[in-house]
Amino acid sequence: MRAGVPIRFSPSRLCIIGNGGLTGSTTPAARRDFSATASTWTTWGFIGLGRMGYPMALNLRAKIPESDNLIIHDQNRELSQKFKEEVGIAAAGAGAKGKANAIEVSDSPRELAEKSEIIISVLPGPPHVKSVFGHILNPRLSPISETISAETDRLFIDCSTIDPTSSTEIANAVHSSSSGRFVDAPMSGGVVGARASTLTFMLGCPTHNGNGDGKLAARVTPILQLMGSKVVHMGTSGMGLAGKLANNYLLAISNIATAEAMNLGVGLGLDPVQLADLINGSSGQCWSSKINNPIKGISPGAPAERDFEGGFSVGLMKKDLGLAMKAAREHGVELELARRAEDVYEDVEEEERGKDFSVVYRWLEGRSTGGHRSRRGR
């Protein structure tokens, strides 16, 4: 690392993303001025094609100008090729073959960053984000514009859910090395929201005046709206993630509470549909009871309709809960229910690994001594 670039985190020995092409340097792309307006040719980069990233990238490609180029990267190259083929089929059906031709698969995050003006990353956790940005920033990236400003500089938008401290360190490394601008923009809405482009993004921008960089937020907001329906500017660097962890802590608890309430009602002899209708029209309603109900036949499209496949995994929920607990400890905040919730998700993951976190209901149902089983939950 060149002297004077204060990267305080260290990339892991094995980068979780990519196919081994991260250690070598790549010749920087020629610098050129560009505008963030939709009418100007732009090169976009997207890192991470997982359950959330894949549909987000599809929506991005569908909505940016046909002339824009999209470079993608995922550790699973077959998944990247699948994405390119899917975009090609959709573009051909819509008579927009140019969109299919404007997709490039990159061998490494570094190569992608060198070629791109706007880079969006959706990665599983803190080690992955640190590793990827450690490789992106070493050696120092060349600026893409002769005139450096919030409106023209290379832009990194990290939508991963990590701890605010790590994200702030990465932001500082990007900015101090003049490699671009970095914002944290975690999202809420799940896989269903990612597919429907109805995600809510929580934005954290680096601050210069105590309330965040207004010009940078104004640039980032319309970009996020290509993949979602709502953007909430929470404040300076790390504040988007602070909002996300608070939200997901509540989600972790309310998911268990919803499962227990449904399990209780069914165990007392109530029809699950009538019970859900009651809860969702009363003070107990929440996202877990209405949109992601754990009993089949209540929430159309919910993971419970397909044996809890394809949603937000128990492991990811446990990870987010752990991040919230870590942040709480660092700031002296008491979370009374956190430890018991963590125990529940650990036990559920042992039995239902990879399933949507609403599978807590099935785990509770199996532990109930009354022996009941919902007719719709089979």
Alpha-carbon dihedral angle through residues 125, 285, 189, 352, given to the nearest 10 degrees: 50
From residue 161, give the alpha-carbon distance in Å to each of 55, 79, 127, 175.
17, 22, 11, 20
- Show the tokens assigned to 288: 């877990």
Q: Quick check: bond before 143 cis, omega within 30?
A: no
Which long-range contacts link 31-35 to residues 24+ away (Cβ below 8 Å)? 31/142, 31/143, 31/144, 31/145, 31/146, 32/144, 32/145, 33/145, 33/146, 33/147, 33/152, 34/117, 34/144, 34/145, 34/152, 35/151, 35/152
Q: Which residues contact 189 (CB under 8 A, 6 or more apart)?
A: 198, 199, 200, 228
- Show the tokens assigned to 176: 């101090």
- Give the number of other Cβ atoms within 10 Å of residue 294's Cβ: 31
Give the closest residue to 185 by CA, choosing from 213, 209, 161. 161
Q: Alpha-carbon distance 228 to 46, whole Å?
A: 16
Helix (H) or strand (E) holding 183: strand 181-184
Residue type, 262: M
Select which of 99, 115, 130, 244 is catalytic: 244
Catalytic residue at 244?
Answer: yes
Q: Alpha-carbon distance 365 to 164, whole Å?
A: 36
Q: Alpha-carbon distance 307 to 216, whole Å?
A: 42
Judged by DSSP in three states, 58 sits in helix
Active-site annotation, residues: 244
